[in-house]
Structure 1
């Protein structure tokens, strides 16, 4: 990993890190279709996990966040996982894509804050201007409704992923680079 990325990663709280034996590991609830994602640690990137509880010390009310953030030397990917089963009924007020976009935007605010704090503390100008929001859902999920709240500046890219019967998925940085 590039030294500037490594220094930034080292600066961050252990609560945000998800390293485990050469992989970054993101775990979801046991009843989710996508339960376990591993991303091999190889190249110029790192992965941060998102827990809403991390922010409860900062805000009076919990603010939803995306599930994880992939930070590479040239782009930051904010990723939300949604497990949608074949028998899901949508509440007219809640569209999964709109909710995922909101969660990604919330995580972007936190990430921008972390970058600003790092730059101030270390007197550097580490900048991640190129950002992308991604919505991952199981390949066997029903077709998602189109979001009515998308804008051109921060599009949310839905992407189906195939997971095994246990809900496991293995990804790499190339997967994200090919989306964007």
Structure 2
């Protein structure tokens, strides 16, 4: 079985082994739900910096300290819960491929002079962020991705999933598609993390 994260929880669980070993591994996993695993996620530096600004805004306006890790964990947990409640592989694929094609130029609208400027975008710098996530949700993410892989042939890891969810959220916010982004993330954080 393919590895769907650096932790490869599902792959280890699905390895052929004696039934007694499989039961022992299952119960060990079930009773060790609090265990967390560190995953490294790569995003454009601009996405990371925008997230830090959003976290500072939430902290200033709602008086609740929010780390980038909590912000991104809330996005991931929200994705897992949405996909556990409603099975829709096509919607998952659409969400994962939403902003895959790179934008060659940035369009800036200048209404004062009635002009639109096209500025060629430069290559972005990437930033690698380490997050501690609980094993249960990493495993659930691996199961969703294994299903997508089996149904569509599109292979993603949990790290890529988190990176894409994070990019999609910030890009959607930047494009004005999610006017209530701050309230939405605040609600997710207060619901899922606290």
* TM-score range relative to shorter protein: under 0.3
Structure showing greater relative contact order (alpha-carbon pairs closer than 8 Å, 6 or more residues apart) = 2
**Structure with the greater alpha carbon radius of gyration:** 2
More helix per residue: 1 or 2? 2
**Which is strand-richer, 1 or 2?**
1
